[in-house]
Amino acid sequence: MARKIVITSGKGGVGKTTICANLGIRLASTGLRVVMMDLDIGLNNLDVVMGIENKVVYDIVDVIDGKCRAKQALIQDMRQPSLYTMPSAHIYTENKITGYGIKYVVDQLAQSFDYVLLDCPAGIDSGFHRAVFSASEAIVITTPHIASIRDADKVISILNSYQLNKISFIVNRIRGDLVLNGQMIDVKNIENLLKVQLVGVIPEDDEISTCSSLGGGVHSKTESYLAFKNLCDNLHNGTDNMFDYTLKYKGFLGSIKRNLRKRV
Ligand SMILES: Nc1ncnc2c1ncn2[C@@H]1O[C@H](COP(=O)(O)OP(=O)(O)OP(=O)(O)O)[C@@H](O)[C@H]1O
Ligand SMILES: [Mg+2]
């Protein structure tokens, strides 16, 4: 039976879809069977990030309506054969999709996969509750900005009212240079504020946004590759290896990089 993990946040645009896609790719690269579902109905961001938009035959609404089986709608990833995406609805059919409908699809898929990753819409309205209803675990994404941390805290208190096995969080878009210069809150302080388990730290990296626009995951020679690899290990094996976002800005050369970055 799969681990059914909802990837959520309070604030929008903090990297849920990006992290869902890269986590799915990393987990599948180890041979695990992974299916991802975009529950931001009508916007299809995950389909775009995974580059599957033109391959969609059936979508989640067709599965809920009984026009096809869940497995028939899945699209296999070109790079990772054990990674699949359930296409989001082509058109905005918000009212047709209920929490029970999504749960029906998720529970069908959970029987044949190791992970079901649910990419949650932003906010805490019906779309959020619909997504969390099918999950057994939640990962909350926050950036190191106060509005995002505050909204993550609110979301965690709402998640606590669900019967989830585990709630953890990821800090995304952290900048080691700003943290060392005292201009950005560090991960330890965010951990103290949110009081749930930290499962990953992802740096701010242009490579990530480039890969999101071009479709697919980050390349193996980048620092964010290591960050996503650590995240995948922590989630799957229960390790506690966090990406060291300050490493490249430490020491003599590091301080030059830090000052250069300040000037650009
Ligand atoms: N660590 C990062 N470094 C650089 N860019 C990033 C990083 N994480 C996300 N981004 C970029 O931020 C933008 C928003 O990311 P994304 O769409 O994943 O957020 P989201 O939380 O899913 O948004 P929404 O709430 O609208 O669903 C994208 O352009 C993405 O490429
Ligand atoms: Mg998104």
What pLDDT digit, counting tens, does each position of 42-91 carry?
A: 777 898 899 888 899 999 989 998 999 999 999 999 999 999 999 988 77
* Tens digit of each residue's pLDDT (9 = 90 or more) over 49-60: 998 888 999 999
Model confidence at 4: pLDDT above 70? yes
* Tens digit of each residue's pLDDT (9 = 90 or more) over 95-106: 778 999 999 999
CATH number for position 252: 3.40.50.300
Residue 264: how many other CB atoms lie within 10 Å: 4
With a pLDDT cut of 70, the percent of the chain lying above it is 97
User: Which residue has the least CA distance to atom 24 on ligand 1?
Assistant: 13
CA 36, CA 227: separation in Å to the nearest integer? 20
Question: Which atom, in ligand 1's list, is nearest to the CA of 173?
Answer: 1
Structure token digits, residue 185: 């809150």
How many angstroms is it from 192 CA to the middle of ligand 2?
26
CA 66, CA 61: separation in Å to the nearest integer? 9
Q: Which residues line ligand 1 (CB under 6 A)?
A: 9, 12-18, 40, 45, 122, 172-173, 202, 204-205, 208-209, 212
Let me know: does 50 contact 85? Beta carbons within 8 Å.
yes
Question: Which atom, in ligand 1's list, is nearest to the CA of 9?
Answer: 21
Strands 3-8 and 115-119: parallel
- Give the chain's domain count: 1
List beta partners, residue 116.
4, 35
How many angstroms is it from 264 CA to the middle of ligand 1?
22
Would you call 37 helix, strand, or coil by DSSP? strand
Sequence-ordered list of residues with C-beta below 8 angstroms from that of 246, at least 6 positions apart, any chain? 176, 179, 180
pLDDT of residue 173: 98
Question: Which atom, in ligand 1's list, is nearest to the CA of 224?
Answer: 1
Model confidence at 92: pLDDT above 70? no
Sequence-ordered list of residues with C-beta below 8 angstroms from that of 93, at least 6 positions apart, any chain? 41, 42, 61
* Distances 195 to 132, 165, 215, 218, 243 between C-alpha atoms, Å: 20, 16, 34, 29, 19
pLDDT of residue 254: 82
pLDDT of residue 256: 83
- The best mutation among 212, 222, 230, 243 to test binding of ligand 1, ranked by most ligand atoms within 8 Å of the C-beta, falls on 212
pLDDT of residue 198: 98
Range of the domain at 130: 3-263
- On average, the pLDDT of the chain sits at 92
| Segment among 26-40, 83-97, 111-125, 138-152 with least mean pLDDT | 83-97
**Of residues 218, 216, 219, the one with CA closest to residue 49:** 216
User: Which residue has the least CA distance to atom 23 on ligand 1?
Assistant: 13
pLDDT of residue 263: 63
pLDDT of residue 94: 64
Give the residue ranges of DSSP H helices in the chain: 16-29, 45-49, 60-64, 70-73, 99-110, 126-133, 146-159, 176-180, 187-194, 206-214, 223-237, 251-263
